[in-house]
Chains A and B, each alone.
Chain A
Amino acid sequence: MPVKLKVNTYMDVAVVELREKALDASNSENFKKSMAETLANFQKVIIDLSRVEFIDSSGCGALLSCLRQLGDRKGWLRLCGVQKNVLRLFELVRMNRIIDIFPTKEDAVKNF
């Protein structure tokens, strides 16, 4: 299933809005593919998850993959707009300690 993304740039920061209700085993591989271009061209990437109601372990794995690709190129990944249910999963698998999470896009862009 193709994944709908919208990428905006603010100076050297790419903000990727994930326009999907879910990020799970059904679309996480496509999500990784869709992210490839942005990850190759930017060092500072923010993924806006405010439309995402559901993430599973595959979704977490895809986000960790983005983090690692950026890390390999001395870049940074930030998340924003994480819904409560999704945050609960991030806490369960300790993603909240590995990726910086901000309440809003503006907070994430600030001082990046």
Chain B
Amino acid sequence: MSEFGEHTKEPPQAAGRFQWWRPLIGRNPKATFIRSLVLVLVCFVVFRFVALPVRVRGVSMEPTYRNGKVNLINRLAYLGSEPRRGDVVGVTFTGESIQLLKRIIALPGETFAMRRGVTMIDGQALDEPYTVVNESWTTRTERTLGPFEYVVIGDNRSMGMRLHISGVVDRSRIVGKAVF
């Protein structure tokens, strides 16, 4: 008989006696322990290295993401491809505990500007149906992005431009793509 067979053998029990621990750990405590351990490990690996759970704080991504909503950042999203325009991404500060959740609107090599609330990419107006536009948003200069630079911005542009964290980030600070 294999070891596994011995593990699953049901221990003798006193007839009619209620065993309070049975619903918690099952008939085979060792197997339950191993399953629990595997589950914990899988959760640790998934939520630490693959899909980072984040809670949205603030209003800068409304109406797409409401304050308090929980989301996941897929760290594997850009392993085989580069970030694309329209992707909502997590951007690190000094680590991954706190991230900016922003939308990519300009890609490496493109020229970005904002004119009366309209995003201009290489001189062409960008259609952004997901935004709340504020006509006061205007940049004094155009900015041509370097080979690893992206412009990220929130969808809610109803506040003053200085009150909104937006601008150029390096590719290395983009952690991954929002799942939902």
Are A and B part of the same complex? no
Interface residues of chain A, those whose CB is within 8 Å of chain B, are: none
